[in-house]
Amino acid sequence: MPRVWLSLGSNQNRDVSIRGAVKALDEQFGPLVVSRVYESDAVGFSGEPFYNLVVGFDSELPHEALMPRFRQIEADFGRQRGSEKFSSRTLDIDLLTYGDLVQKGESYELPRDEIEKYSFVLCPLAEVAPDQCHPVTGEQFAKMWAAFDQATQPLWPVEFSFD
């Protein structure tokens, strides 16, 4: 069964959205691996700070069947998709990896290129899957994080309860 890694982010109604999304994912997909929650400034636009984390689980479902479920969870928490890629949002769920699958579709890319671009994705991913290797580069996530220019995109862990 492939391991699925997701990036979750929110900068509107952050506590409710993140807590609810993790609960919904746990209810649908069973035991989760959950990173700490990190706060970071908005990237690519001026907006409120984000909470971000990475969640993992094993799934027998094909990745194409997972995406509509993630979009429904986003919608359940008030996400409205618009044309602006960088904007405020109640909830963003991005599929980072699906096992070792390397594939590009019309509306997705696996592995997601944000892994290598953004500290708010790579840091929590390296925390929960340090020895796992990037499906394209073959480099361990922990080593990728150690080599990342962390000063350019600061983030910090926050106290967060999922109860």
Average pLDDT estimate for 148-156: 95
Q: 92-148: per-residue pLDDT in tens?
A: 999 999 999 999 988 789 999 999 999 999 999 999 999 999 999 999 999 999 999
Phi, psi of 100 (to 5 degrees): -100, 15
Position 49 scores a pLDDT of: 95
Position 116 scores a pLDDT of: 97
Position 81 scores a pLDDT of: 67
Position 84 scores a pLDDT of: 58
Position 85 scores a pLDDT of: 61
Domains of the chain, each with CATH number or no CATH: 3-158 (3.30.70.560)
What's the CA gap between 162 and 43, in Å, rounded? Answer: 25
Position 82 scores a pLDDT of: 62
Asked if residue 31 has pLDDT above 90, the reply is yes
Average pLDDT estimate for 16-22: 97
Strand runs labelled E in 3-161: 3-10, 33-34, 37-40, 50-58, 92-98, 103-104, 109-110, 155-158
Q: 56-97: per-residue pLDDT in tens?
A: 999 999 999 999 999 999 999 987 766 556 667 889 999 999
What's the CA gap between 126 and 54, in Å, rounded? Answer: 9
